């Protein structure tokens, strides 16, 4: 069973994000992390591999520093890693990024593609589905359970008010939601293996892509400018004993703010 996992290195969720002087770029504190949803994807891939034997390949698109998330994948137990590294790949929208990833995935046979349901930097939640469409595969988004048998998979998705069970033939793509599993903490043996690992890199040329098809040039969506959300005025503390404060709060909410 060949399993591909798409992983993304994002700025640490606690990293400071500021808008660049030109208004169309971001100045982000250089602290990095693996996208949390991708951890669930890697973990699930490793569990499938344990049950079915096979190979787990992790792929990331990014600059050289993104190698760290690939090493983390190996430390957890992935067999191979691939970095898609090219100036031309950068600053793409979901479409351009998914296009490049799908090209890289298609280079080798695969049965299952796993990725996070969204990256918590861009918060787009598009790439997984788009990769599936580019490759002509069915996908199940936001899975919380996955059972793989010969040539088929049954997935559970949490929907409003309940749970839906869906079956797809393989190959197929699945995006991971929180609750799918508890990602393992790497053992030192994995860490050592990852530290020594030689990681393959591919450029646009290696994938047979013209720069115009990828990254910023290939994007269908452009950033016109960045801005900061409006600052809220300072909090108004409603004083008094619980009963008094409650009365005043309700008065404000109903008569002033007209919330209900």
Partner 1 sequence: MDFALTEEQEFFKKIITDTVDRLIVPKAREIDEKEEFPRELWREFTGLGYLGLRYPEEIGGMNADPVTAMIFYEQLARGSVGFAQSVIMNALMGTYFIYRFGTEEIKKRCLYPAMRGEKIATMCFTEDQSGSDLAATRTRAEKDGSDWVLNGTKMWITNGPIADIATVLATTDMAKGAKGLNFFLVEKGTPGFSPGQVLDKLGCRGTVTGELVFDNVRIPAENLLGTEVNKGVEYLSEILDEVRTMTGAMALGIAQAAYDEGLDYARKRVAFGKTIGSYQLIRAKFADMATEMEASRLMVYYAAWRIKEKLSCRKEAAMAKMFATETCLKVVDEVTRIWGANAFAHEYNPQRYFRDARFLLYGGGTHEIIKDFLGRMIIGKH
Partner 2 sequence: MDKILVFVEAKGNEPRKVSLELLSEGLKLAASGQFSMEAVFLGKLPAAVRETLLNYTEKLIHVTDPVLENYTAEGYSLALAGYARKTGAKIILGGATQRGRDFLPRVAVLLQAGIASDVTITNWEKDPLTFIRPMYGGRVLAELSFSAYPAIVTVRPNSFGVGASLAQKGELVEFPAGISPEQVKTAVIKTEATTLGKADLTEADLIVAGGRGLKAAANFRLIEELAQTIGATVGATRSVVDAKWRDQADQIGKSGKTVSPKFYLGAGISGAIHHIMGMDTSKVVLAVNNDPNAIIFSYANYGIVGDLFEVLPALTEELRKRLGK
Instruction: List interacting residues with partner 1 (CB under 8 A).
Output: 67-68, 71-72, 75, 185-189, 191-192, 194-196, 234
Output the smallest distance, CB 192 to partner 2, in A.
29
Nearer to partner 2 (CB atom), residue 85 or residue 93: 93
9 neighbors 69 (Cβ within 8 angstroms): yes
Residue for token digits 């998979």?
Answer: 153
* Near partner 2 by CB under 8 A: residue from 159, 185, 188, 208: 159
| SS3 assignment, position 181 | coil
| Nearest-angstrom CA–CA distance, 54 and 64 | 28
* Near partner 2 by CB under 8 A: residue from 1, 2, 19, 206: 19
- For partner 2, the binding residues in 51-90 under the rule CB under 8 A are none
β-pair partners for 37: none
* Near partner 2 by CB under 8 A: residue from 167, 187, 210, 212: 167
150, two tokens: 């010969």
Output the smallest distance, CB 251 to partner 2, in A.
8
Q: Is 22 in the site for partner 2 (CB under 8 A)?
A: no
124 interface partner picked from partner 2, partner 1, none, CB below 5 to 8 A per type? partner 2
- For partner 2, the binding residues in 241-260 under the rule CB under 8 A are 241-243, 245-247, 249-250, 252-254, 257, 259-260
Output the smallest distance, CB 178 to partner 1, in A.
15
20 neighbors 38 (Cβ within 8 angstroms): no
Output the smallest distance, CB 206 to partner 2, in A.
23
Can you give the three-state secondary structure of 108-163, one letter per residue?
CCCCEEEEECCCCCCCCCCHHHHHHHHCCCCEEEEEEEEEEECCEEEEEEEECCEE
Q: Is 215 in the site for partner 2 (CB under 8 A)?
A: no
Q: How far are the Cα atoms of 100, 133, 202, 214, 220 from residue 208, in angstroms, in the given order?
A: 10, 20, 10, 11, 20
Q: Is 160 in the site for partner 2 (CB under 8 A)?
A: yes
Report the candidate in 182, 172, 174 with the shortest Cα–Cα distance to residue 40: 182
Q: How far are the Cα atoms of 31, 91, 111, 184, 245 from residue 96, in angstroms, in the given order?
A: 25, 9, 23, 31, 54
187 interface partner picked from partner 2, partner 1, none, CB below 5 to 8 A per type? partner 1
- For partner 2, the binding residues in 173-192 under the rule CB under 8 A are 178-179
191 interface partner picked from partner 2, partner 1, none, CB below 5 to 8 A per type? partner 1
| Nearest-angstrom CA–CA distance, 221 and 44 | 32
Q: Is 125 in the site for partner 2 (CB under 8 A)?
A: yes
Q: Is 142 in the site for partner 2 (CB under 8 A)?
A: yes
């Amino acid at each position: 069973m060949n399993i591909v996992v798409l992983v993304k290195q994002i700025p640490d969720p606690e990293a400071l994000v500021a808008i660049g002087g030109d208004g169309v770029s971001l100045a982000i504190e250089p602290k990095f992390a693996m996208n949390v949803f991708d951890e669930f994807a890697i973990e699930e891939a490793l569990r499938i591999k344990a049950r079915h034997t096979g190979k787990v390949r992790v792929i990331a698109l990014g600059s050289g520093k993104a190698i760290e998330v690939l090493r983390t994948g190996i430390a957890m137990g992935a067999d191979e890693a691939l970095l898609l590294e090219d100036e031309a790949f950068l600053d793409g929208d979901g479409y351009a990024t998914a296009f490049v990833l799908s090209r890289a995935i298609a280079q080798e046979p695969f049965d299952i593609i796993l990725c996070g349901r969204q990256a918590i930097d861009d918060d787009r939640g598009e790439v997984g589905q788009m990769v599936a469409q580019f490759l002509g595969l069915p996908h199940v988004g936001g899975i919380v359970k996955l059972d793989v048998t010969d040539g088929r998979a049954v997935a559970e998705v949490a929907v409003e008010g309940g749970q839906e069970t869906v079956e797809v033939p393989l190959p197929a793509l699945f995006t991971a939601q929180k609750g799918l599993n508890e990602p393992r903490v790497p053992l030192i043996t994995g860490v050592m293996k990852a530290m020594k690992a030689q990681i393959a890199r591919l450029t646009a040329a290696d994938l047979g892509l013209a720069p115009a098809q990828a990254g910023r040039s290939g994007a269908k969506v452009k950033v016109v400018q960045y801005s900061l959300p409006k600052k809220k005025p300072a909090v108004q503390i409603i004083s008094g004993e619980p009963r008094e404060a409650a009365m005043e709060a309700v008065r404000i909410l109903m008569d002033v703010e007209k919330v209900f």
